[in-house]
Amino acid sequence: MDERLRSRTGWRQAAKRFLKGAVLAGYRVMTMILPVRSDVIVIESNLGRNAAGNPRYIYEEMVRRGLDQKYRIYYILDRPERVSLPGRAVKVKNFRLRFYYVMAVAGIWVSDTRFPNDIKKRKKTVYLQTWHGTPLKKLALDMEEIHMENEDSLEAYKESFRKNAATWDYLIAQSEFAAAIFRRAFAFQGRMLLCGYPRNDRLFAWNRPNEIARLRRKYKIPDGKKVMLYAPTWRDDDFFGNGRYRFATEMDFDAMKQAFAGEWVLLVKYHYLVEDTRDFGRWKGFVYRFGGDCDITELYLTADLLITDYSSVMFDYSLLGRPMFFYAYDLVYYRDTLRGFYFDFEKEAPGPISSTTQELICQICEYRPEEYRERAEAFAKRYHSAENGTASKTLVDLIERCMEERKRPGRTAGKEERSD
Ligand code: C2G
């Protein structure tokens, strides 16, 4: 690199570091001088990439109860202009001044991923961590290797995770199986709530023909077509840059179209970490792409079958009792090298596993549900035993209790004047 360019890059990095230090110092000052407010709630989904998943459905339950009028709710987003929300939540851009202010004064934080370790939680703030799926893939302290772009060493990653999870007051799970792993893999010491996932309440409430028809119209699915949903997970070692992953697949979309285009459409849903700009134009009218900013729950309801790989979508979709197919072209590498698994996937998967598109096509064409019924029942019992369609209610009750508790004399400074 040219000497001048190198020195300019060096200056830019130094300036960035200085600015970050100054902002964090400002955050610390705010946490020292401003009281925690019993009317402020901060919500974030998927690192701010979207407004989806568990936090979104907790928020929607708050709106349903009119609590968005009672509390000041701030939704943290990378691109607020791209997201629309019901109710009165204020959209706050990630890492801008207002973000630091609301983080500093909020009575409750709700998140399904992690806020940065630099943003220290105050003792009086309650942190409700929902996480974002039952694990098949090894997690956090249980991981034996690390391949993610922004992580230097496994030990540093684990230490950062341990520190972060030590600030969570509540964590939720879909089953005893997940709860036991979370306790160990996050070294979680707070209160575990076996209440199921708020995002899945809709799968109970809306699994009816009229709702499904409404959702099909919403997502512009042509009348008369059956729907397959392809929702794979991301690959730790296949990225463009920090937190931006490629859409990793070996699926032969030509072959899928040839086999199914008459009767079916294929919805391709990206994980929120995937930002691939791959052009699906060639399969127009057959493939419908949904980005990482979209919430998957409603797509589950429209789908007659699911194709996934090692993603936790399998646990949620299995609540619907519909066919599942596992297109696992890199199973051995993913399981033995990239991530590691918590259970014997080949033995327990509640549907056929394939390693090529041709194999997948045959399995879909020849699928007989009775062959997987027993496995599907065992899978449901083990991996989502706590789900009963009332998680949002349970958690919003909890949030209300925490906020009311905060107002009691002697506990905190109580509700403050609105200052922003
Ligand atoms: N998801 C999605 N679209 C995909 C894949 C996932 O919308 N194509 C959503 C689902 O809600 C899923 C969640 O993101 O449950 C987590 O996705 P995983 O593929 O399981 O991956 P990861 O984010 O690594 O989480 O304990 C769970 C693990 O941490 C895995």
Per residue in 315-332, pLDDT (tens digit) is 999 999 999 999 999 999
Q: Write down the pLDDT at residue 238.
A: 87
Q: Write down the pLDDT at residue 2.
A: 65
- Asked whether 139 lines ligand 1 (CB < 6 A), one says yes
Do residues 164 and 237 share a domain?
no
Q: What is the pLDDT of residues 123-164, one digit of tens each?
A: 999 999 999 999 999 999 998 888 876 777 889 999 999 999
- Asked whether 158 lines ligand 1 (CB < 6 A), one says no
Domain presence at residue 266: yes
Do residues 232 and 379 share a domain?
yes
Q: Write down the pLDDT at residue 224.
A: 96
Q: Which pairing describes strands 40-44 and 72-77: parallel, antiparallel, or unpaired?
A: parallel
In 3D space, the residue among 380, 201, 357, 132 whose CA is nearest the CA of residue 266 turns out to be: 357
Task: Look up residue 381 and give its two tokens.
Answer: 């019992």
Do residues 289 and 175 share a domain?
no
Q: Write down the pLDDT at residue 418.
A: 30
Instruction: Tell which atom from ligand 1 comes closest to the C-alpha of 232.
Output: 8
- Asked whether 132 lines ligand 1 (CB < 6 A), one says yes
Domain presence at residue 338: yes
Predicted TM-score of the model (pTM): 0.93
Instruction: Tell which atom from ligand 1 comes closest to the C-alpha of 274.
Output: 8
- Asked whether 269 lines ligand 1 (CB < 6 A), one says yes
Q: Which residue range forms the structural domain that includes residue 89? A: 34-196+389-405
Do residues 327 and 395 share a domain?
no
- Could you give the number of structural domains in the chain? 2
Q: Which pairing describes strands 191-193 and 170-172: parallel, antiparallel, or unpaired?
A: parallel
Domain presence at residue 55: yes
Task: Look up residue 417 and give its two tokens.
Answer: 């004047």
Cβ atoms of 360 and 325 within 8 Å: the answer is yes
- Asked whether 114 lines ligand 1 (CB < 6 A), one says no
In 3D space, the residue among 52, 189, 24, 71 whose CA is nearest the CA of residue 111 turns out to be: 52
**The CATH number of the domain where 172 resides is what?**
3.40.50.11820
- For the chain, list residues with pLDDT below 50: 412-420
- Tell which one of 130, 132, 136, 293 to mutate to probe ligand 1, the residue whose CB is within 8 A of the most ligand atoms: 132
Cα four-point dihedral sign 400, 405, 408, 410 = negative
Q: Whose CA is nearest to atom 3 of ligand 1?
A: 271
Domain presence at residue 22: no
In 3D space, the residue among 375, 384, 322 whose CA is nearest the CA of residue 136 turns out to be: 384
Residue 394, number of CB atoms within 10 A of its CB: 17
Domain presence at residue 332: yes
Q: Whose CA is nearest to atom 4 of ligand 1?
A: 271
Q: Write down the pLDDT at residue 417.
A: 32
How much is the CA Rg of the chain, to the nearest whole Å? Answer: 22
Cβ atoms of 104 and 24 within 8 Å: the answer is no
CA of 312 to the centre of ligand 1 (A): 5
Do residues 118 and 225 share a domain?
no
Do residues 192 and 269 share a domain?
no
Do residues 172 and 122 share a domain?
yes
Do residues 40 and 71 share a domain?
yes
Q: Within 13 Å of residue 232, how many CA atoms lie on the same side as its CB?
A: 19
Domain presence at residue 369: yes
Q: Write down the pLDDT at residue 409.
A: 65
Do residues 62 and 127 share a domain?
yes
Do residues 149 and 207 share a domain?
no
- Tell which one of 129, 202, 249, 313 to mutate to probe ligand 1, the residue whose CB is within 8 A of the most ligand atoms: 313
- Asked whether 253 lines ligand 1 (CB < 6 A), one says no
Do residues 285 and 394 share a domain?
no
Domain presence at residue 314: yes
**The CATH number of the domain where 241 resides is what?**
3.40.50.12580
Do residues 398 and 324 share a domain?
no
Domain presence at residue 419: no
